[in-house]
């Protein structure tokens, strides 16, 4: 069987990486953060990055067979129906002959879903490790896995948040900066509220910069009247980081990981919630969130004083990382 499925790679750590072949730079933020926490644990091993978004050939999977460890680096790639339709983690039952002991790292559920079909249950039970603890992004994802009988799961939050200790949060700014970086989301559009967000920012900040995190964002934001009054930041993570390194800068936007990246840079941030990801992470960890249909309250946040009080699950994070030390 080893001759068919590939030789053993006991000195190799495999990372299913959402940043590869992605149309969303938020996946780079997730990957960058997860790698910073994992790499110190595997200094002596060969680390192989493979795309979680792309289907691998049988021949390429031979390089993964019998690796020391296999990690899945976050994003909302878990879903209830893996047999048909779009899959962010493009795997099938056939892949489980060579990938069958994977460990989740801050992964989340694709969206709010009801029934998990039998095929997906079988696939996840074969794909995921039954002896290592898994790390998921929120309580909703944890409960969905438990519905399938996968109970070796910890709710650690996303790896992008793991540095947000109470001391770190206490140092974040509490009052308005002079400038703001904003984001919008092409696949979840609300022109009325999104335009209201931009016009409010333009009325309260000296400079409003737009960062286009996804490859479809430009086509959407150019349709909004306030777009012409904003500066545009190039669609690279380096350009976004450089904008956030400007001391007198806030963040406001619908991109969850854009907001988390801003927090990593020590910026006062407000994430405009448009889907289950921001809502569940706010519910579990108190990340700073405002619902998009409550955008009338944005001015109060801008001009008022706000304390960032994110509550990360420190014990669960330590349990997860500690099993690999």
Residue 311 in this model has a pLDDT that exceeds 50: yes
Q: Under DSSP, is residue 9 helix (H, G, I), strand (E, B) or coil?
A: strand
Same fold for the pair 2-162+314-322 and 166-303 = yes
Residue 1 in this model has a pLDDT that exceeds 50: no
Output the average pLDDT for the chain. Answer: 95
Supply the pLDDT for residue 107. Answer: 97
Supply the pLDDT for residue 3. Answer: 65
Q: Percent of the chain scored above 70 by pLDDT?
A: 99
Residue 252 in this model has a pLDDT that exceeds 60: yes
Q: Which position has the higher pLDDT, 84 or 179? A: 179
The 10s digit of each residue's pLDDT in 103-142 is: 999 999 998 888 899 999 999 999 999 999 999 999 999 9
The 10s digit of each residue's pLDDT in 265-290 is: 999 999 999 998 999 999 999 999 99
Residue 182 in this model has a pLDDT that exceeds 70: yes
CA angle 252, 250, 164 (to 5 degrees): 90
Query: What's this model's pTM, rounded to 2 decimal places?
Result: 0.94
What's the CATH number for 2-162+314-322? 3.40.50
Cα 45 off chain centre by: 25
Supply the pLDDT for residue 2. Answer: 54
Average pLDDT over residues 45-62: 90
Written as six digits, the tokens of 191 are 């022109």
Q: Taking phi first (over 0 means left), then psi (-120 to 50 degrees means alpha), and beta for anything else, what does residue 85 get?
A: left
Q: Whose CA is closest to 275, among 295, 249, 300, 255?
A: 255
Q: Percent of the chain scored above 90 by pLDDT?
A: 85
Average pLDDT over residues 142-162: 97
Average pLDDT over residues 72-79: 93
The 10s digit of each residue's pLDDT in 286-308 is: 999 999 999 999 999 999 999 99
Q: Whose CA is closest to 102, among 78, 85, 137?
A: 78
d(C-alpha 325, C-alpha 318), whole Å? 10
Domain range 166-303, CATH class: alpha beta
Q: In the chain, what are the domain boundaries? A: 2-162+314-322, 166-303
Provide the b/e sequence for 277-312 (b: ≥16 CB within 10 Å): bbbbbbebbebbbbebeebeebeebbeeebebebeb
Going from the C-alpha of 109 to that of each of 61, 75, 85, 127, 210, the distances in angstroms are: 25, 8, 15, 16, 28
């Amino acid at each position: 069987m080893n001759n068919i499925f590939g030789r053993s790679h006991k000195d190799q750590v495999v990372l299913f990486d959402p940043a590869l072949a992605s149309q969303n730079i938020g996946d780079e933020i997730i990957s960058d953060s997860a790698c910073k926490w994992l790499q110190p644990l595997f200094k002596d091993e060969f680390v192989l990055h493979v795309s979680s978004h792309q289907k691998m050939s049988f021949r390429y999977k031979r390089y993964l067979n019998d690796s020391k460890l296999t990690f899945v680096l976050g994003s909302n790639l878990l879903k209830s129906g893996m047999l048909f339709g779009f899959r962010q983690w493009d795997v099938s039952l056939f892949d489980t002959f060579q990938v069958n002991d994977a460990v989740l790292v801050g992964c989340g559920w694709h969206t709010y879903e009801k029934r998990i079909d039998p095929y997906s249950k079988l696939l996840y039970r074969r794909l995921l490790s039954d002896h290592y603890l898994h790390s998921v992004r929120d309580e909703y994802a944890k409960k969905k896995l438990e519905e399938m009988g996968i109970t070796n799961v910890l709710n650690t939050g996303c790896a992008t948040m793991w540095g947000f200790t109470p001391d770190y949060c206490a140092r974040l700014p509490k009052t308005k900066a002079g400038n703001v970086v904003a984001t919008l989301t092409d696949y979840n559009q609300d022109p009325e509220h999104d335009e209201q967000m931009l016009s409010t920012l333009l009325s309260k900040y000296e400079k409003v910069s737009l960062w286009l995190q996804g490859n479809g964002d430009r086509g959407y934001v150019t349709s909004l009247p306030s777009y012409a009054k904003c500066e545009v930041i190039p669609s690279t993570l380096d350009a976004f980081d450089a904008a956030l390194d400007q001391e007198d800068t806030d963040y406001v936007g619908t991109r969850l990981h854009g907001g988390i990246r801003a927090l990593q840079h020590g910026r006062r941030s407000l994430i405009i919630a448009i889907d289950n990801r921001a809502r569940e992470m706010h519910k579990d960890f108190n990340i700073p969130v405002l619902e998009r249909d409550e955008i009338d309250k944005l001015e109060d946040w801008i001009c008022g004083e706000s304390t960032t009080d994110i509550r990360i699950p420190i014990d669960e994070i330590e349990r997860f990382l500690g099993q690999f030390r």
